[in-house]
C-alpha cells in the first residue's frame, strides 16, 4: 500500500534530485516594473505584464466601478445564470477589436485550449501541432480524440509533408503558438496558413504572447500577417498577459462561439469571471486603442534592451519580440546568474531543461511599456557585471 506521505516524499525527492523542484519567488509589492523581491527593490524583468496594465489606474478604476455596480462574483456558471450583460458586452468589444465575427471568454488561456481543442476535435480528425507549442495546447490535445501529429518547430515543409501523408475526410487542424514563449520567435503564419489552406485545413493560433504586442493596437499575430477576417483561422489567446488581468478567449465565427457555449467543458462547468475582471479587461482594450504610445513604448524599450544586450556580447537567440532570452548554457549557470542578478537588484528568472533544450538554458526577460530608460540601464549594468562573473561575456 502507498500512503499519501510515501507518495509525496517520493515525488518531491525525485523532483529535488533531478533539479526540477521549484518554489515560486514572492513579490512583496504590486506587479510593477519596479517591485520588491526577497526584501529588496528590484527591476522586474520576469513578468508577462507587457503593457504595464496589471497595476494601471485606468483598469483599477473600472474594476472598482464594476465591483460596486455588479458585485463580487458571477454567482453561477455562464450557461446557467452566470452570464451578466457585462460579459457579453465585453465579448462584443473583443470581437470588434480582433476583427472577428465573434468571441467567447473563458476563465484562462489554459482552460481555453482545453475547452476548444477538447470540444472541436472528433475521432477521424487530424491535428498537426508545432513541437514547441505551449503546455496547455498539449494538455488540450490529450482531451481530443483526433489523430495527433507533431511538426518540427516552424517547419512549413514538415507540416506540408504530414498533411500530405495523413489524408482524412475529417476536420484538419494546424495548431501553433503565434509567438513562442521561450524563444520569442514568431510563427510564419503567412506560410502556415497557405499550406493549411492547400490541404483544406483550419489554422488554430494560440496568441497568448502576441495579443497586445503584435499587430495594429495589439490585435495579435493573425492581424500582423493580415488574416484577421478569415473564417478558416481560429484565434485563441489570453487576457492574463499583455491585457494585465486574467482570462482566455476564442475568437472566430459566430458558430464557433455557439458550439463552444454548448460543448466547451470549462465554459459549461466552471464559473465565469467576476465583474471586476470584466471591468478591468474592457478598460484594457479601450486604453490600448486610445493611447497608442503605450505599445510604442513597449517596442522602443524592447529594441533598446536587445540592442544593448547584444552590444555587451550576450546571445539573445535572434528573438523578434519583447521576450528576450539571454543564453547561459547549462541550467546551473542560468540559475546562478539569476541569483546574482537578484543580488544586484534585478528580478529575472532562469529557465533550464526540460522547459528549454539542454545547453540553451537561459534567463528569460520581458521588458514592458512601463519600464523607464533608467530602470533598463540599471538592469543592463547588472547584466554586464554578472555576464563577466559567470563567464558568458568577455571582460
Ligand atoms: C501563458 C500561455 C497560456 C495560458 O494563459 P493563462 O491565461 O495564463 O492561462 C496559454 N497559451 C500560451 C501559448 C501561453 O503562453
CATH number of domain containing 358: 3.90.1150.10
Q: Give residue 132 CA to ligand 1 midpoint distance, Å.
A: 13
Judge whether 380 lies within some domain.
yes
The alpha carbon torsion through 58, 63, 66, 72 (nearest 10 deg) reads -170
Boundary-marking domain end, from 225, 256, 290:
290
Same domain, 141 and 270: yes
Q: How far apart are CA 53 and CA 244, in angstroms?
A: 5
Question: Pocket around ligand 1: residues whose beta carbon is below 6 Å from it?
Answer: 108-110, 134, 136, 177, 181, 206, 208-209, 238, 240, 248
Same domain, 221 and 263: yes
Same domain, 81 and 36: no
Question: pLDDT tens digits for the chain (395 residues)?
Answer: 999 999 999 999 999 998 888 899 999 999 999 999 999 999 999 999 999 999 999 999 999 999 999 999 999 999 999 999 999 999 999 999 999 999 999 999 999 999 999 999 999 999 999 999 999 999 999 999 999 999 999 999 999 999 999 999 999 999 999 999 999 999 999 999 999 999 999 999 999 999 999 999 999 999 999 998 899 999 999 999 999 999 999 999 999 999 999 999 999 999 999 999 999 999 999 999 999 999 999 999 999 999 999 999 999 999 999 999 999 999 899 999 999 999 999 999 999 888 898 999 999 999 999 999 999 999 999 999 999 999 888 87
Q: Give residue 390 CA to ligand 1 midpoint distance, Å.
A: 32
Judge whether 15 lies within some domain.
no
Same domain, 284 and 302: no
Which of 31, 134, 321 has the most ligand 1 atoms within 8 A of CB, as the residue to mutate? 134
Judge whether 194 lies within some domain.
yes
Same domain, 205 and 323: no
Same domain, 180 and 265: yes
- Report the pLDDT value the prediction gives residue 19, as an integer from 0 to 100: 81
Same domain, 340 and 296: yes
Q: Give residue 99 CA to ligand 1 midpoint distance, Å.
A: 21
- Report the pLDDT value the prediction gives residue 160, as an integer from 0 to 100: 98
DSSP of 260-321? HHHH-HHHHHSB---HHHHHHHHHHHHHHHH-THHHHHHHHHHHHHHHHHHHTT---TT--S
User: Known catalytic residue: 273?
Assistant: no
SS3 content of the chain, % helix, strand, coil (to 5): 45, 15, 40
Judge whether 5 lies within some domain.
no
**DSSP, res 94:** H
Q: Which atom of ligand 1 is nearest to the CA of 178?
A: 13
Judge whether 372 lies within some domain.
yes
56, 98, 224, 241: the active-site residue: 241
End-to-end CA distance of the chain, in Å?
Answer: 58
Boundary-marking domain end, from 240, 267, 290:
290
CATH label of the domain that carries residue 147: 3.40.640.10
- Report the pLDDT value the prediction gives residue 5, as an integer from 0 to 100: 98
Boundary-marking domain end, from 272, 290, 308:
290
Same domain, 274 and 356: no
Which helix (H) or strand (E) segment holds residue 132: the answer is: none
- Report the pLDDT value the prediction gives residue 229, as an integer from 0 to 100: 85
* Total domains in the fold of the chain: 2
User: Known catalytic residue: 241?
Assistant: yes
Nearest CA to ligand 1 atom 12: 208
Q: How far apart are CA 281 and CA 395, in angstroms?
A: 46
Judge whether 10 lies within some domain.
no
- Report the pLDDT value the prediction gives residue 291, as an integer from 0 to 100: 97
136, 113 Cβ separation under 8 angstroms: yes
User: Known catalytic residue: 60?
Assistant: no
Which of 112, 140, 179, 241 has the most ligand 1 atoms within 8 A of CB, as the residue to mutate? 241
Q: Give residue 181 CA to ligand 1 midpoint distance, Å.
A: 9
Judge whether 37 lies within some domain.
yes
Q: Give residue 209 CA to ligand 1 midpoint distance, Å.
A: 8
Q: Of 182, 189, 253, give the one whose Cα is nearest residue 221.
A: 189
Joined grid coordinates for residue 114: 482545453
Same domain, 322 and 235: no
CB atoms under 10 Å from CB of 208, counted, come to 29
- Report the pLDDT value the prediction gives residue 355, as an integer from 0 to 100: 86
Same domain, 207 and 345: no
Nearest CA to ligand 1 atom 1: 208
Q: Give residue 140 CA to ligand 1 midpoint distance, Å.
A: 12
Same domain, 82 and 144: yes
Which of 113, 214, 238, 323 has the most ligand 1 atoms within 8 A of CB, as the residue to mutate? 238
Cα 272 to chain centroid distance, Å, stands at 20
Same domain, 138 and 244: yes
Judge whether 234 lies within some domain.
yes
181, 240, 282, 319: the active-site residue: 181
316: containing domain = 21-55+292-389
Amino acid at each position: 500500500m502507498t500512503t499519501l506521505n510515501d507518495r509525496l516524499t517520493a515525488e518531491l525527492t525525485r523532483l529535488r534530485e533531478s533539479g526540477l523542484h521549484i518554489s515560486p519567488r514572492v513579490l512583496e509589492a504590486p506587479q510593477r516594473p519596479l517591485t520588491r523581491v526577497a526584501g529588496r527593490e528590484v527591476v522586474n524583468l520576469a513578468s508577462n505584464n507587457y503593457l504595464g496594465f496589471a497595476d494601471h489606474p485606468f483598469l483599477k478604476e473600472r474594476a472598482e466601478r464594476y465591483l460596486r455596480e455588479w458585485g463580487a462574483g458571477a454567482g453561477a456558471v455562464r450557461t446557467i445564470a452566470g452570464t451578466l450583460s457585462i460579459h457579453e458586452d465585453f465579448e462584443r468589444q473583443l470581437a470588434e477589436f480582433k476583427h472577428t465575427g465573434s468571441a467567447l471568454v473563458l476563465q484562462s488561456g489554459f482552460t481555453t485550449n482545453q475547452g476548444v481543442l477538447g470540444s472541436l476535435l472528433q475521432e477521424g480528425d487530424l491535428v498537426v501541432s508545432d513541437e514547441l507549442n505551449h503546455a496547455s495546447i498539449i494538455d488540450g490535445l490529450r482531451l481530443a480524440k483526433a489523430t495527433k501529429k507533431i511538426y518540427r518547430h516552424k517547419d512549413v515543409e514538415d507540416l506540408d509533408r504530414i498533411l500530405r501523408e495523413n489524408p482524412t475526410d475529417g476536420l484538419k487542424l494546424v495548431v501553433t503558438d503565434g509567438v513562442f514563449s521561450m524563444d520569442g520567435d514568431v510563427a510564419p503564419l503567412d506560410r502556415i496558413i497557405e499550406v493549411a489552406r492547400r490541404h483544406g485545413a483550419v489554422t488554430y493560433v494560440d496568441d497568448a504572447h502576441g495579443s497586445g504586442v503584435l499587430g495594429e493596437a495589439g490585435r495579435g499575430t493573425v492581424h500582423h500577417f493580415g488574416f484577421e477576417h478569415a473564417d478558416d483561422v481560429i484565434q485563441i489567446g489570453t487576457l492574463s498577459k499583455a491585457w494585465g488581468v486574467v482570462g482566455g478567449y476564442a475568437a472566430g465565427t459566430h458558430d464557433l462561439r455557439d458550439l463552444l457555449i454548448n460543448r466547451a467543458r470549462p465554459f459549461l462547468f466552471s464559473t465565469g469571471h467576476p465583474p471586476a475582471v470584466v471591468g478591468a479587461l474592457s478598460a484594457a482594450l479601450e486604453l490600448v486603442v486610445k493611447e497608442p504610445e503605450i505599445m510604442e513604448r513597449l517596442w522602443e524599450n524592447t529594441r533598446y534592451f536587445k540592442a544593448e544586450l547584444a552590444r555587451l556580447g550576450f546571445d539573445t537567440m535572434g528573438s523578434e519580440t519583447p521576450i528576450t532570452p539571454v543564453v547561459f548554457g547549462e541550467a546551473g549557470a542560468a540559475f546562478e546568474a539569476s541569483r546574482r542578478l537578484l543580488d544586484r537588484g534585478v528580478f529575472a528568472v532562469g529557465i533550464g531543461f526540460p522547459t528549454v533544450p539542454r545547453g540553451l538554458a537561459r534567463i528569460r526577460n520581458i521588458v514592458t511599456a512601463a519600464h523607464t530608460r533608467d530602470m533598463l540601464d540599471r538592469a543592463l549594468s547588472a547584466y554586464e557585471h554578472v555576464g563577466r562573473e559567470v563567464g558568458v561575456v568577455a571582460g
